[in-house]
Amino acid sequence: MSQDDFAFAERFACLRLARTDGVGPVAFQHLVGRYGTAAKALAALPELARRAGRAPVTYTPEQAYAELTEGELMGATLLCVAEPGFPEALRVLDPPPPVIWALGDAALLHRRAVAVVGARVASAAGCRFARGLAGELGAAGLVIASGLARGVDAAAHEGALPTGTVAVLGGGIGDVYPPENAGLYRQIAERGCIVSESAPRRKAQAKDFPRRNRLISGLSLAVVVVEAELKSGSLITARMAAEQGREVLAVPGSPLDPRARGCNDLIRQGAAVCEGADDVLRAIEAIRGFRAPPPPAYVLGDEATPPELLERVFDLLSPTPVHVDELARQVGAPPGAVFAALVELSLAGRVELAPESMAMRA
Amino acid sequence: MSQDDFAFAERFACLRLARTDGVGPVAFQHLVGRYGTAAKALAALPELARRAGRAPVTYTPEQAYAELTEGELMGATLLCVAEPGFPEALRVLDPPPPVIWALGDAALLHRRAVAVVGARVASAAGCRFARGLAGELGAAGLVIASGLARGVDAAAHEGALPTGTVAVLGGGIGDVYPPENAGLYRQIAERGCIVSESAPRRKAQAKDFPRRNRLISGLSLAVVVVEAELKSGSLITARMAAEQGREVLAVPGSPLDPRARGCNDLIRQGAAVCEGADDVLRAIEAIRGFRAPPPPAYVLGDEATPPELLERVFDLLSPTPVHVDELARQVGAPPGAVFAALVELSLAGRVELAPESMAMRA
């Protein structure tokens, strides 16, 4: 089936389901898995959420239509996880992003890519290195992914403009940040590809950056960190890359340079040393594709979760994430039933689902 | 038995045997193992060498006496491998150095030590780092070993002067090189310890530096390389450290700094990242002593090697090192007999024995 064949109604339902309060990537994946299509899951939502204690705040058809119109007027394309045009690299993530917007050459999302990320307040040498590395990797046929931040990110995009670069935004398409990267943004939109998990023009918030970082590493065979202080956001990207089974490389630096601390620490933890493009090419040469996504961790029954199970699960939760299996042990119910309860509580806005089968009070 | 009880005659014989042409540490170890004492091995030498084709150039009693007199007049002490005062760290090397001279506080050779080595043409930052690291490790109770070279070595010694430092020379005691380190040499002789495998005042030659590096790493639980270009001598010290089972650490640096190349490459090959004293302390905290020396690789018989075996072994040799086992396969003789033949050929100056059971034409 081609992208055009992907029914408009299902696409529309995907967007509405993905944007519904309490439906993150985890709940989205399980609801579509349970009901077969986004449209059917969407139809089941009100009842599920009501039973969990609250009417769901679904994304209305008007909102979805407005988002689609806005994005398409900007020239962007909505890609839904279930459709054939969705990038394989993101489809295999656990969980995959339900929908992404792409502006520019979306074909770049299907090519072998490497992420080059790093400090916003980077040294001139760090930027020069990132630019050169991106150029060399681009010449070797790789797409360069990064986050359009100041410093290393911008330099990496610049170096890869002639050969292909993908910028993943924290906010929506059209939310250009920082302002000084507006020119670079336009060039990437024309010659590369801008990607976002958010609705067009939505302003980036702090919580969007881990999501953005997850997509940067997800799109890539390897993540190269160029200059990063300890506690830098680039280290989150590196950690996500490792969790996603991607290669992690770091550019070493002097212990006297605070901007090298994060990179040296990554190397200490097992990241490969990156002194140039050869190191990256060596790290990825054997990779022929992405790891298949893991099978669903929990098999959900068709039956509605008994209300008292919903409350017993909720009572066990706190703002600290806890694993579904642990909850299942404590309530003495099958993990699948507990997970279903968590999804329903999430729809009611009472629970937050995190990757790796963790849950906490919203 | 105390050091004083170690018979003067045996000490004298050790020195003569160790300084005899064709007797390197490998042959020394095997000859003393075969004959029981250095004196007996020395007595057997003329006959062994003659059968291998050449009269041996033994170190005469006059030469040995002159060396002992010279060293002791300088205030230095000769330490022989078989005597109780010989440093355990060096005794367990394979092969150990047969004799060393020590000037200054030889007790330092029995304490836990870490080597800090690196580029002669070091950056100011590299020297500062080495000096600080040596000071911190010294404060943590460790002796700092290095090679009294320009740059990193000198800085490491300086940093550890108050707490204890050992300088291993390529030449003999009194051969101060480079000249600008004369002041540092004097301070180490007074407050630390100067060590050499060579005869006092002997000028260092190129071939002495790998021997010196082997002692630097041998004396140490870990070797830290601070700044090293590719093909730096410090990398030889690091390789020897790894062969000796010592920990290897390297201080990372920017790929744009040529002086970081060797260190980054070491890290790529598995050296631990060193950003400060904590990394070193962590690397050695579990080490409670040195690995026992391996048992002799070959059991030598008491019988003299048949002359035709000597010649068949010699015919198979070239200037390229070959393993004793390989030679034994090719001549169809027991490895122990072939090794004995090689020791005898070495005494005749026709063969060079290398560590790890390798041999080549001299």
**Which chain A residues are closer than 8 Å to B127 by Cβ?**
none
**Cis before A178 (ω within 30):** yes
Smallest CA–CA distance from A261 into chain B, residue? B275
The arithmetic mean of pLDDT across residues B56-62, rounded, is 87
Pairing of strands A247-250, A143-146: unpaired
> CB–CB of A275 and B267 under 8 A?
no
Tell whether the model's pLDDT for residue B267 goes beyond 90.
yes
> CB–CB of A253 and B252 under 8 A?
yes
Smallest CA–CA distance from A266 into chain B, residue? B273
**Which pLDDT band holds residue A291 (cuts at 50, 70, 90)?**
confident
H, E, C per residue of chain A? CCHHHCCHHHHHHHHHHHHCCCCCHHHHHHHHHHHCCHHHHHHHHHHHHHHCCCCCCCCCHHHHHHHHHHHHHCCEEEEECCCCCCCHHHHCCCCCCCEEEEEECHHHHHCCEEEEEECCCCCHHHHHHHHHHHHHHHHCCCEEEECCCCCHHHHHHHHHCCCCEEEEECCCCCCCCCHHHHHHHHHHHHHCEEEECCCCCCCCCCCHHHHHHHHHHHCCCEEEEECCCCCCHHHHHHHHHHHCCCEEEECCCCCCCHHHHHHHHHHHCCCEECCCHHHHHHHHCCCCCCCCCCCCCCCCCCCCCCHHHHHHHHHHCCCCCEEHHHHHHHHCCCHHHHHHHHHHHHHCCCEEEECCCEEEEC
The shortest C-alpha distance from B158 to chain A (Å) reads: 19
**Which chain B residues are closer than 8 Å to A261 by Cβ?**
275
Tell whether the model's pLDDT for residue B129 goes beyond 50.
yes
A residues 140-199 closer than 8 Å to B (CB): none
Tell whether the model's pLDDT for residue B231 goes beyond 90.
no
Please name the member of A252, A272, A276 whose beta carbon is closest to the beta carbon of B252.
Answer: A252
pLDDT tens sequence across A56-76 = 778 999 999 999 999 999 999
> CB–CB of B255 and A272 under 8 A?
no
Cβ atoms of B183 and B113 closer than 8 Å? no
H-helix or E-strand containing B121?
none
Smallest CA–CA distance from A267 into chain B, residue? B273
The arithmetic mean of pLDDT across residues A80-106, rounded, is 94
**Which pLDDT band holds residue A1 (cuts at 50, 70, 90)?**
very low
What pLDDT is attached to residue A102?
98
Tell whether the model's pLDDT for residue B1 goes beyond 50.
no
The shortest C-alpha distance from B269 to chain A (Å) reads: 10
Smallest CA–CA distance from A276 into chain B, residue? B255
Q: What is the mean pLDDT of chain A?
A: 91
The ipTM (two decimal places) reads 0.76
Tell whether the model's pLDDT for residue A287 goes beyond 90.
no
SS3 category, B287: coil
Q: What count of Cα atoms within 13 Å lies in the side-chain half-sphere of residue B142?
A: 28
Smallest CA–CA distance from A257 into chain B, residue? B253
Phi-psi region of A39 (alpha: psi -120 to 50; beta: other; left: phi over 0): alpha
SS3 category, B80: strand
Outline where B20-123 has alpha helix (H).
25-35, 38-51, 61-73, 88-91
> CB–CB of A272 and B267 under 8 A?
no
Task: Look up residue B20 and give its DSSP letter.
Answer: S
Going by C-alpha positions, the residue among A252, A193, A195, A196 that lies closest to residue A225 is A252
**Which pLDDT band holds residue A8 (cuts at 50, 70, 90)?**
confident
Please name the member of A256, A267, A272 whose beta carbon is closest to the beta carbon of B273.
Answer: A267
Instruction: State the Rg of chain B over Cα.
Output: 21
Instruction: Provide the whole-model pTM.
Output: 0.83
pLDDT tens sequence across B101-121 = 999 999 999 999 999 999 999
Determine which of A260-269, A293-302, A348-357, B265-274 has the lowest per-residue pLDDT on average: A293-302
A residues 312-331 closer than 8 Å to B (CB): none
| Chain B contact for A260 (CB, 8 A cutoff) | yes
Q: Is A332 exposed, middle or buried (0-12, 13-18, 19+ CB in 10 A)?
A: exposed
Cβ atoms of B216 and B100 closer than 8 Å? no
Cα dist. B319→A337, B24, B80, B91 in Å? 75, 17, 31, 29
* Token duo for residue A22: 């309490």
What pLDDT is attached to residue B173?
97
| Chain A contact for B128 (CB, 8 A cutoff) | yes
pLDDT tens sequence across A200-248 = 999 999 889 999 999 999 999 999 999 999 888 899 899 999 989 999 9
> CB–CB of A274 and B255 under 8 A?
yes
Smallest CA–CA distance from B271 into chain A, residue? A268
